[in-house]
Amino acid sequence: MSFARWVWRLSWVVGTFFILLLVAANWWIVRSTSNEVFSDYDRIPSNPVGLVLGTSSRRSDGSPNPFFHNRMEAAARLYAMGKIGHIIVSGDNRSRFYNEPLEMKRALLKLGVPDSAITLDYAGLRTLDSVVRSKEIFGQEHITIITQPFHSYRALFISRFYHIDAVALVANEPSDEPAVSVYVREYFARAKAVLDLYVFKTGPRHLGEKEPIDMG
């Protein structure tokens, strides 16, 4: 067998495996968590704490990010209804010019959530970090995750792996064309989540001292 033919066959095997991994991971994650995803505010179970997963408040072109604003409105509504009693805003804080948790807090304050009901998690660099830190740092084993539908399945899958009792309230998804790339990235992120949890045993990048939330 020529070297070129051997390389072609190897590429075909690797490519086939990669495609199967993508399909299987997406099927597993969505199928195993769909019962914990809610869009009806009245039907979602109550939990002590809501975990809002971070995203930028602005798109790359500077326009408002509907993913961000829809998550904030969903969290504020859940709080107003008494479905959650406290909110963790978890996101990236890579520099003084980019601070997702602080932007989320400001948005929630404008929506009527009191400062005393908001905890900032500056080390939510990835979904895995945000979910695990809600338990290991903030002491929460029963949470309501607030994000968009496409993202909720992976967050719940990670929660289940770490024995966190979680449900997800899904905020509205924008229907415009720029959102398509977000969904494509999530398709690959689900496969990575399976590898992180079951193969590479990836943990949060930052933990630290515990900061249990006082629910009063």
Q: What is the pLDDT of residue 180?
A: 77
Average pLDDT over residues 80-100: 92
Q: What b-and-e string marks burial along 63-93, b requiring 16 or more CB atoms within 10 Å of the CB?
A: eebbbbbbbbbbbbbbbeeebbbbbbbbbbb
Query: Is residue 208 assigned to a domain?
Result: no
CB 173 within 8 A of CB 88: no
Query: What average pLDDT does range 75-82 have in this prediction?
Result: 98
Asked if the structure places residue 154 within a domain, the reply is: yes
Q: Is residue 179 part of a domain?
A: yes
What CATH number does the domain containing 160 carry? 3.40.50
DSSP character for 95? Answer: B
**Mean pLDDT across 29-56:** 97
Total Cβ atoms within 10 A of residue 112: 10
Residue 181 lies in a domain: yes
Q: State the average pLDDT for the chain.
A: 93
Q: Quick check: is 117 in a domain?
A: yes
- Supply the range of the domain harboring residue 80: 3-198
pTM to 2 decimals? 0.93
In a domain, 175, yes or no: yes
Identify whether 209 is part of a domain.
no
pLDDT beyond 90 at 115: yes
> Could you tell me if residue 77 is inside a domain?
yes
Share of the chain above pLDDT 90, in %: 79
Number of domains in the chain: 1
Q: How far is CA 84 from the centre of its chain?
A: 17
